[in-house]
A and B are shown apart, each in its own frame.
Chain A
């Protein structure tokens, strides 16, 4: 695909559109995209991924005018499963660029007016999921939507008498679950270990993508429907699950995310200047750290690693290297994220892995690496990296970010809760109930690091599950 085609020229536009239409013809209409898509579950009457492709083959201009284009949340699940390997979210991103240039923001506004009927933090959602920065969407337009949304506050008050439900965690899953339950008339308390509510929204997602103020405004707005948030309260430390159940909470929704960063297991990880992804992103977002003229090395190949490396560049790094131990083909990060990181000047180095963290007086200054080559594929089909003996080399840098994945932090939860691979909580796929009756879970703690729309649909299912549970018990 001609990514180089210039979107600002007439010919460039036509080339991009032609290419997308050409690819749209290849759709087999197998439906795997639709079945995978969390946005279809949320907006079944507005959005249908492969029908949009079929529409493109019939009348591309009409698609550019339509509001359907604005629902994809770029979660990449469809791309991962499409038998034709069509990169749907990339098409969408390009089409949105074309649509904005041609038809302005009216279709987006129409989509937004639908989104805000379902998602109670619509601007945070849009900011994170449609990536306005990638399609030259003027921040003032997002701002305007934010102001409009706040000023059109819902007046409806929900009953104050329903049973009480505890929600643990105030990320997108917790907020969505709380809101849905509140709409059903339950009294909801959210327990949040941080000072700021919002989960990844307020902790990790870089400020240039999502301003903290927007998140806090939207949560405040949401609280007015009668949701209580108890900040600085950690389940397992300040309060236990049993205590919640003994108190008059009739059910619990665990929406605690995946915050435990995996470690490399080499010496020096505790040196000054060495961060986990979340620590690093939090420094940038909350402590407004600037990394003037420093060299940053990020280790990892996932979306979070890309975001951390991009953010480093955005906030003043001289250069940012991203080390990945396999090749681009095996890299788990979504293509859009990789393109974005490269656009931001991140230098991705493949087939390299860290073996030692060196420093002076426990202050990091050198990363010792080794070159890798690909061996036999493992059971999941990805080829295993094997170190090339004697290929060690040194990378001089000021900051090191270890971004090799996160998993749910469940150490403080009761042991009897059943978990699966990588500490994810096992749930009933319909009701989201865990192995403990009355305790439900949704979001990253069930899926492992996933996406905002997946957190939202999980939470919505859980709310229904809780409602059924309470009505039947």
Chain B
């Protein structure tokens, strides 16, 4: 057994080139040489790819051969490969918590591409910091928690249905929560599907009914998730099942009730193109196959007011007094499949949507040519219900636009239009179709074929996005004004009907879902994956997975593929039945604790018990502690130790940063989930910023105590940054409100001491805000350039203990 805690320190340092990713702008040999010179380092080497098998083997061999008891790898971000290297250490008999990483790629070589000297100096510092922390690491033992073998799937579109079925077939219990009265999502609304042109509802309906009757699936429609607590393997969920007012089990969907209902309202499912009654079923194939009453539309739940439906229903299925139900579920894993909405083009006034009757959206078009739709599948234009002879499609409406709508490409609308053009040509071959596009994106399997089929069937593709649509008030015909960018000439095309190919946008209540499950969003508003390439269906919150469009716009095939992937990821967790949780929790030293109760007050998880009256010291309930470290940062008596992020370890990092040239450096404390990830994202996007910053990672910004900040200043640092997730996006409920309070207090304190408070910065940076991080550092570079040596000297004196 390797000597782990006591006795001589034997540290091995491994500097990775990452091909040229690091070596391109950092002198890796020099960094290795530097590492070799550090105290307690007994072995140091550089390697082209440390994460490769041979790279890992070197570490394993060294652990055995050189009796290493600490390992430091300087390479990419720990958010990518920490698990890999921890595993390698463990394989060689070293406790995985005796491993430390220096992030010299995402936060160094990639962001200082043109400053080899600066980048190399910074890489050395980062290694020095890692070694300093490594010295103080202690072995930790992960606890195992059971995983409940049940899944919650949120959203019953094709992705949610597929994920639910895949898991149910593997014998896991699934609860599928859908906010609408029926499952099916967008796919139920569309007519045919590209690229195969099958009938959408024909292929979806069997899956819907299978989900409806599967013994392992509980379907909760007309329902919303209200509360989520717990952690991976052990989530507690509260779901509000809103009253349907029709007994799902009794209703035979005969429709007698709707026949007598006097109310007529626009049908949401037909995007308002047709009407429904106050008691209705959204569409023929709805699952569950039961009617529902919209109480806002219903004339009166007192029989005197109306109650016609109640009289008519032979099964007595209608119950006006049906209450909402709050259901509680225990699940081990969660799949978020909340899908998309479509862009509303009203704000693009130049296209006249809602002003000109014959301008419609692509989703409305799907309902119009659907046999089950309001016109029975006949292509008619709204103004006079005539079959249009010329039809114009306008692409990228609300997509790829920095001003109106969204900057991203919506991924499906090109193919959807190609599909629509073929559908029209099939049934009304004399129609003249003109498609105005910016680029045609037909990259998937079978897509190019479909595009060519459309072109060869006589559909005109005109390159250029129309400037505007005008209407002839008499005929209601439309004039599409557009530059044909192939000729450079402006053309006017008169059409009978124009279809706006609208983009896909995140569902309207995705903010609510984000908060409930503490998710992050990328700048496009869709949920962010744990890693875009290697963990594309995992959420950053462990035990939560994504399926379908919730994670980004995609077509049905990709949605289904992703759903199966998410189901399989969740299945892996649940099959094992238990999972190790990271050993990062708080421990109270009862000898020092004077039972003031401050820690218990700030803990977002109520994980601390303390009896202030009887002065019984604080005690941490380990299973409830999430490890944010807020308590440790608040405790005035240093009675709380945060495992794996101890005061000593963090202070040692500060000391390492400030050993030389402290007055030219920025000490940045970044939280693992958002700001550290944001700094990584700046790297991935190669956003360049000044190399003066040194990042120290903690799990939560709530961990950063007053002392840590003051210590950095005391050591002569020019500036300090505390960065966390946006308020309300905290991964530890609301711990960052404590951060905010603490920093505001510190500002006052600094001012009182005559220290420029600008030197301490607080920033909320999400994992997607690489640019914000880079800008923050640029801003702080300006600040440190202005701080004089005298000022720093004065600070050091004032703070001297």
Contacts and interface: CB of A to CB of B under 8 A. Distances in A.
Interface of A: 28-36, 40-41, 44, 48, 51, 77, 80-85, 379-382, 418, 420-421, 426-430, 435
Interface in B303-361: 344, 346-347, 349-350, 354-355
A81 B467 contact: yes
B206 to A, nearest CB: 39
Contacts of B346: 379-381
A440 B644 CA distance: 81
Contacts of A80: 350
B444 interface: no
A337 B349 CA distance: 22
B404 interface: yes
B204 interface: no
A458 to B, nearest CB: 11
Contacts of A51: 488
A33 B481 CA distance: 11
B483 A34 contact: yes
A32 B485 CA distance: 10
Interface in B484-543: 484-485, 488-490, 492
A34 B482 CA distance: 8
Contact of B403 (A34, A82, A382): A82
> When A and B form their complex, which 4 residue pairs have the shortest distance between CB atoms, in order from nearest?
A35-B467, A31-B483, A381-B347, A429-B470
A230 B490 CA distance: 38
22 contacts: A31-B463, A31-B465, A32-B464, A34-B467, A35-B467, A36-B350, A36-B467, A77-B467, A80-B350, A85-B403, A379-B344, A379-B346, A379-B354, A380-B349, A381-B346, A381-B347, A418-B473, A428-B472, A429-B471, A430-B479, A435-B473, A435-B474
A286 B404 CA distance: 42
Residue among B346, B464, B483, B492 with the highest chain A CB neighbour number at 10 A: B483
A32 B483 CA distance: 7
Contacts of B473: 418, 420, 426-428, 435
A435 B484 CA distance: 31
Contacts of A41: 490
A380 B344 CA distance: 10
A32 B467 contact: yes
B299 to A, nearest CB: 29
A80 B479 CA distance: 20
B401 interface: yes
B347 A36 contact: no
Residue among A35, A51, A83, A380 with the highest chain B CB neighbour number at 10 A: A35
B787 interface: no
Nearest to B465: A30
A44 B347 contact: no
B472 A429 contact: yes
A40 B464 CA distance: 16
Nearest to A427: B473
B402 interface: yes
Nearest to B349: A380
B579 to A, nearest CB: 43
Contact of B485 (A30, A84, A379): A30
Contacts of B483: 31-32, 34-35
Nearest to B402: A85
A30 B474 contact: no
Contacts of B402: 83-85
B401 A34 contact: no
Interface in B435-486: 438, 463-468, 470-474, 479, 481-485
Given A32-B465, A32-B467, A430-B479, A380 B485 contact: no
B657 to A, nearest CB: 35
Given A35-B483, A428-B474, A429-B479, A30 B468 contact: no
Given A36-B468, A381-B347, A429-B470, A30 B438 contact: yes
B356 to A, nearest CB: 11
A321 B364 CA distance: 47
A48 to B, nearest CB: 6
- Which bucket holds chain B's interface residue count? 35 or more
Residue among B354, B396, B467 with the highest chain A CB neighbour number at 10 A: B467
B437 to A, nearest CB: 9
A29 B404 contact: no
A51 B490 CA distance: 13
B67 interface: no
Given A30-B465, A44-B490, A84-B402, 11 more contacts: A28-B438, A30-B485, A31-B463, A31-B464, A31-B467, A35-B464, A36-B350, A381-B404, A429-B472, A430-B492, A435-B473
Nearest to B473: A426
B754 to A, nearest CB: 33
A391 B793 CA distance: 47
Contacts of B207: none
Contacts of B466: 32, 35
A36 B348 CA distance: 14
A83 B490 contact: no
A327 B124 CA distance: 48
Contacts of B396: 83
Interface string B162-184: 00000000000000000000000
Nearest to B354: A379
Contact of A40 (B471, B479, B484, B490): B490
A249 B465 CA distance: 42
Nearest to B494: A430
A84 to B, nearest CB: 6
A41 B473 CA distance: 23
A35 B470 CA distance: 12
A30 B347 CA distance: 19
B726 interface: no
B472 A30 contact: no
Interface string B390-402: 0000001000111
Contacts of B465: 30-32, 35, 83
A85 B400 CA distance: 11
Nearest to A429: B470
A430 B404 CA distance: 28
A80 B470 CA distance: 17
Residue among A33, A36, A41, A82 with the highest chain B CB neighbour number at 10 A: A36
A35 B474 contact: no
Contacts of A81: 350, 467-468
Contact of A83 (B344, B349, B401): B401
B359 to A, nearest CB: 14
Nearest to A35: B467
B394 to A, nearest CB: 11
B679 to A, nearest CB: 26
